[in-house]
Amino acid sequence: MIVGYVLALLAALASGSGSVLESIGVRRAGAYGGSALDLVHLRRQWIYFLGIGVDLVGFACAAAALHRLPLFLVQSVLAFSVGVTAAISAFMGTRLAKPGWVALAVGAVGLVLLGLSAQPGPAKVLPAAWRWVLPAMALVVGAIAWYFRRFDRPWTAQVLGFATGVGFSMVGVSARTLNVPSSGWVMLVEPAVWAMILNGLASAVAFALALQKGGATAVNSIMFTTNTALSSVIGLVFLDDRVRDGFTAFTVAGLILAMSGAIVTAHYATEAKEPLRAPVLQRSS
């Protein structure tokens, strides 16, 4: 069980760090606040792809943790990567107001409560038909990203962050329900594998578009709040994720505190001045 907690914490550290690196890449490419076509300039930004690589390491750690711990716990720990993003951004010059740091502390208390209440164990196997719904959700995430990419409004980043959260929650559910076959060839027709790949790609595109419209910390907060809430409901209702006997109140309080901490952090992070918005480095041609 300790291994699962360590893997979840490593996933949060990697995810938060990767988000900052990707945000730096978007700004260095001159794509922040521009059109979706400006993202093509990311091909010359090694730091953006380094961020994706760090995110992939985080995903591997999260997938391994999900085989040992319930969705509501692992996804809540991943949500705390917003604290990692905020801390790194503050070190780089972004001023997060004191209530924002208090909110992060509140979220940390929520994670402790969730950790105490979670009952480790494997997930319930989904029916065959529902297993194909998971990869199909990538079409929904992609459609939201494609439609809202054209808008340049304050709420656009929030919508794209929400779509990213939906996509990554499908990745989490797929990882939680993945039954690793003995033969490598069988993996090619395993719906959970394609669900992770397709939803991961769709979410990565939606996340890049969201970073064009808003700061990394704010986008992360919305993304992980959506991810945590949706994944927790799916896990508890459909996947037989369990709470320790007598710890239901801890779970409820932990989810409320963890999600509230992320939302409040998003509010103060949005008001904070992002040091990377100005000046934008020269775009590579």
Please provide the size of the chain in residues: 285
Contacts of 20 (CB under 8 A, 6+ apart): 51, 85, 88, 89, 92, 216
Number of H-type helices and E-type strands within the chain: 10, 2
Q: Are 265 and 100 in contact (CB under 8 A)?
A: yes
Question: In terms of C-beta density within 10 A (0-12 exposed, 13-18 middle, 19 or more buried), how is residue 259 classed?
Answer: buried
Please count the other Cβ atoms lying within 10 Å of the Cβ belonging to residue 50: 16
- Distance, first Cα to last Cα, the chain: 49
Residue pointed to by tokens 């992980």? 224
Reported as a single tens digit per residue, the pLDDT across 1-20 is 688 889 999 998 998 888 78
Q: Would you place residue 197 in the very low, low, confident or very high pLDDT band (cuts 50, 70, 90)?
A: very high
Q: Would you place residue 249 in the very low, low, confident or very high pLDDT band (cuts 50, 70, 90)?
A: very high
Indicate whether 132 pLDDT > 70: yes
pTM above 0.75?
no
- pLDDT of amino acid 92: 72
135: number of CA atoms within 13 Å, CB side? 14
- pLDDT of amino acid 206: 92
- pLDDT of amino acid 282: 42
Reported as a single tens digit per residue, the pLDDT across 142-187 is 999 999 888 877 788 889 999 999 999 999 999 888 876 666 676 7
Contacts of 268 (CB under 8 A, 6+ apart): 96, 97, 99, 100, 103
